[in-house]
Amino acid sequence: MTDVLKIPEAAMSVISSSYGNDSLALIQWAYEAGLQNVTVAYCDTGWASPDWPMRVDKCEAFAKSRGFATVRCKSIGMAELVKIKKGWPGNGQQFCTAHLKGLPFLTWIDEADPEYKAIVLIGKRRAESEARKNTPEYIENSEHHGGRRIWHPLYLHTDEQRNELVKRAGFEVLPHRSKECNPCVNANRDDFLRLTPGEIERVNDLEVEISQPMYRAKRFGAMGIHGVVTWAKSGRDRGSIQEETADCDSLFGCGL
């Protein structure tokens, strides 16, 4: 048990989950900490890998076995969003997280928690990346969550501590981030190499339809998803590591 919990007994705790390693670790942590009245919320981006729905089913079953409720929030989907925006998210304009995760989550939680008493738990950790190295334990009155309090219980957890939680949950540690959005606008070489032919063609079809590549040619020295995948297979490096390892500090825990 932990002695840091200061949540009103009647308040709902909502775990914003992508069902990757960090989200799963947070669910296990919440169980071990003895949190009550917990709901695990997952947002369907419409851009997940083909095998990810099975992962979601398995993780939801796990959360329920721990006594937690689960919910799925439906978004308009990446393909429709890209068509509406007439362009891809990225390059400093990552509108995907707000539309595919933020809005669906807020719509659901405003109905489930009309008095704004819920606390939202997110599995962000400082050790994850440079972009998240300053993650605080709490964010008070988050405007992106309807003014609710945000809690990052694992913010000081190392990768090893996170992995131990995942193992205690009965899962193997994934060698990649959540595939809730695949490929992500911040995908790296390894992510491209894991893409299925169907995922590659899904990107290519949208690139053709809106006449715009998903990834800037400057970033990988290649044009279009086929060119980027060819770059990934070639093993060529970009001059700047920042160009290959882009990341974001999503307030909604993308990729966790």
Residue 236 clears pLDDT 90, i.e. is over it? no
Assess whether the previous peptide bond of 183 is cis (omega < 30° from 0): yes
The answer to the question of residue 212 being in a domain is yes
Q: What does the pLDDT read at residue 143?
A: 87
pLDDT level of residue 10 (50, 70, 90 thresholds): low
Residue 150 shares a structural domain with residue 38:
yes
Q: Are residues 41 and 149 in the same domain?
A: yes
Domain count, the chain: 2
For residue range 87-124, what is the model confidence (pLDDT) as tens digits?
998 755 578 888 999 999 999 999 999 999 999 999 99
One domain, residues 135 and 209 = no
141 within some domain: yes
Residue 7 near residue 13, CB atoms below 8 Å: yes
Whole-angstrom Cα distance, residue 193 to residue 169? 28
Residues 128 and 38 in one domain: yes
Q: What percentage of the chain carries pLDDT values higher than 70?
A: 89
CA distance 96 to 184: 10
Q: How large is the average pLDDT for residues 210-221?
A: 89
Judge whether 24 lies within some domain: yes
Q: Which residues are paired to 156 by β-bridges?
A: none
Q: Do 49 and 155 belong to one domain?
A: yes
Q: Is the pLDDT of residue 37 over 80?
A: yes
Query: Predicted confidence band at 241 (pLDDT cuts at 50, 70, 90)?
Result: very low
| Residues spanned by the domain of 202 | 189-244
Average pLDDT rounded to a whole number, residues 213-219: 89
183-215, pLDDT tens digit by residue?
999 898 999 999 999 999 999 999 999 999 999
In this prediction, residue 238 has a pLDDT band, given cuts at 50, 70 and 90, of low
Residue 55 has pLDDT above 90, yes or no: yes
Q: Are residues 200 and 151 in the same domain?
A: no
* DSSP reduced 3-state for 179: coil
- Shared domain for 101 and 223, answered yes or no, is no
Task: Specify the CATH number for the domain of residue 80.
Answer: 3.40.50.620
46 and 81 both lie in a single domain: yes
* CA-based nearest residue to 183, from 3, 52, 42: 52
The residue out of 168, 197, 231 marking a domain boundary is 168
